[in-house]
Structure 1
């Protein structure tokens, strides 16, 4: 199947027609960042918007968040170098089963010698260096946390590779990684990125299947505020963690009051202290880039649309309700909207609950425009995680041994695999009875 924007649009139109639906009724689009999808002029979203101006496009929040990490890594040299060396480290340490076993064995020995660690059944879990993924913020954090925990074990494995490596390039890589990992700069940026990536409430929320749009918008703002607060007050605590780590593993600590020296031009006078270099040129700069990238990425979303929808949230007894925002939301959907407090609505937690309660109390009949606005808010996605999980599950259904199955059979199999949690609630007896009643059978099941 072709994946050009025109062919995808034709497939969508054909799908709507097959189910007797009008594509002119589409009120929202949600995709990832593929060029054939998000192109400003010839992308799929642009082609649909040309015909249907009310099909507002919302960029997948989860992909936007990942692009924040990618953007920072490409703009700041030290962070770029950190990511690059971490990737090389995972490749060389996890390059063979022997090295992985050596890492685990070294970890067990270090835990056994450490009297401060409480061992026993269920107390500890075996760790290994995790490879950072391209589509999840939290995978980068996991890599850093594992490295901080396994730091002495990783150093031992690198020393072993340097001494007994079969190939000279592996020995040179191991030697270079050791030198880099025993520097103050490495420890400093590792702990800095540990905190930045640790603000992962947003990431965890965006990976959920039951996505709440209003909660996602709120978490974007909270993440931005947390980074700004850390920029103003976090350097001293970061320096304490870095210094403590360096002293523990006998890494030379930089004197913050001494004059900063350029690594490549050691005789050149800089006129600044190490404290100024690490605070202004690194700590503040990295966080400013992160905040700016976060703001620019999520500002591309239809901010006005999401802000207006927030007035429909029933949380805290409709504390976010705004008549002006509600009217603005109605104006954004002109084709759908022509121009005593109920305690049952007091404890609702989301738009889905509000819609159900309106149907339950028949208010969707008395207030059809409000009910329509709620439905429009519910169908506009902020993340495509559930859709991408469906695509990922296809490789488990259509394997090399089942590569000739038809589209209908594959579709049925994928539904059973994807909705397996729901299907587990269906008993075998009920399935047999339904199958038996579909038509007359020769034998009774």
Structure 2
């Protein structure tokens, strides 16, 4: 899709220089976070160790039960001593969650579980090292124990929890079906500002978390003394470098042109009686398409927009519109596309700029599950019907078997009532 030379994006741009490519926001955020593991070797090594830990600890039900039992005993001890409160929904049974490669939001939950179950996991790793049957698993357990007792492990665990926590709110917002472009763009900017704030003022608070947890990890070992060499490595080579990578990826993937383009596009929205209408932004939007709007048309567009908004905002037929598609159809139906040709041209250009959402990404994933090798002769219409049923599960849950049978019975006269 995004190939620089032969991708769909490149082929379209060859035909139209004013064509703009807007990647799925949720996918872009995924690539932003993944970039850390790819470009910073120590962070990549940390997540490789997490994957190995999940494979070793979760390799058998017995080991998983050991973690749950160890955690349960610690909770009981905490309740008995008064350190842990009780109540509805508290102290639920938990386990180490396997992170998904395609959804980096799951890595945050894995790290949170790792922090919560840390002492239980250490006990299980020690058991595997001493009592394990397979030599390979015993060596893996030994290597994991050695790594999880290091300062590096605790440092990257706490740092990635901070970064993934800052991007979680944006990630959840971008995965919504009813995605709001303006809110999405504002959340991107807010996330970038919070990352910059973390870079400027977050070092001391991070080190306090790391230091307190490092004492908890292995109180028998003396804490490493921090000299200027260690300070420079962890603060400059790690902390600053990782956050700078995040900010750089945010700026590269959520470009200023795309952000400005989408914000201007939202000014055409008919929601709430054209509440988002902004003449200056729409004029700026027209300037993104120099092949479609001449210099003179851009100058006259300001007056056209004033007349357009006064005309449609007073028309009762335009009060309850929900989307740009509905606005376009109604303008043609009411012949207003002839009265406001420049605005309608701008509206058509905006409609040719579809913004992919996480829902679209999930549709492609669903296609792999529905159109399997065993269904290699499935027709397009039947495939489309199957995909609708699979993707819109929430809607079809309300349809009962009795309704389906009744509908099928009424399609044609049958000798036997179903």
Common fold: TM-score over 0.5: yes
- TM-superposed CA distance for 1:343, in Å, is 9.5
Mapped pair 1:414 → 2:414: no
| Superposed counterparts of 1:27-426, under 5 Å | 37-53=1-17, 55-115=19-79, 116-119=83-86, 122-199=89-166, 200-251=168-219, 252-256=222-226, 259=227, 272=228, 274-299=230-255, 302-312=258-268, 322-332=278-288, 339=297, 352=322, 365=336, 367=340, 369-370=342-343, 373=346, 376-377=349-350, 380-394=353-367, 397=370, 405-426=378-399
The residue that corresponds to 1:20 in the other structure is: none
Displacement of 1:47 in angstroms is: 2.1
Q: TM-score, normalised by structure 1?
A: 0.75
Q: Is the CA contact 1:213–1:381 (under 8 Å) kept in the aligned structure 2? A: no
Task: Give the secondary structure class of the aligned counterpart of 1:59.
Answer: coil
2:75 and 2:91 in contact (8 A); partners too: no
| CA distance in structure 1 between the partners assigned to 2:140 and 2:58 by the alignment | 13
Take 1:167 and 1:428, find their aligned partners in 2: how far apart are those partners?
51
Cα displacement (A) at 1:359: 7.8
- Separation of aligned partners in 2, 1:443 and 1:319: 58
SS of residue in 1 equivalent to 2:22:
strand
- The equivalent residue for 2:304 is none
Gaps of 5+ in 1: 1-36, 260-271
Say whether the 8 Å CA contact 2:129–2:141 is kept in structure 1: yes
Contact 1:254–1:274 under 8 Å retained in 2? no
Partner of 1:30: none
Going from structure 1 to structure 2, the CA distance change for 1:440 and 1:315 (only over 3 Å counts) comes to closer
More divergent stretch after superposition (71-80 vs 418-427): 418-427
Shift of 1:165: 1.7
**Secondary structure of 2:208 counterpart:** helix
> Do 1:93 and 1:158's aligned partners in 2 also have CA atoms closer than 8 Å?
yes
Q: 1:382 to 1:181 in 2, by over 3 A?
A: farther
TM-score by length of structure 2 reads: 0.79
Partner deviation per Cα, 1:214-261 (whole Å, 9 max, x = no partner): 2222221111101001111111111221222223343443434xx2xx
Counterpart for residue 263 of structure 1: none
1:352-396, Cα deviation, whole Å (9 max, x unpaired): 467768988998836565466456546634444212322333455
Specify the alignment match of 1:17 in structure 2.
none
Question: How much has 1:58 moved relative to structure 2?
Answer: 1.2
What is the rounded CA distance, in whole Å, between the counterparts of 1:127 and 1:375 in structure 2?
52
Q: How far apart are the structure 2 equivalents of 1:414 and 1:404?
A: 15
Structure 2 counterpart SS, 1:42: coil
- Cα distance, 1:402–1:353 mapped onto 2, change above 3 Å: closer
Aligned residues: 392
Instruction: Point out the structure with the larger helix share.
Output: 2
Whether the aligned pair in 2 keeps the contact of 1:73 and 1:79 (CA below 8 Å) is: yes
> C-alpha separation between the residues in 2 aligned to 1:188 and 1:328?
46
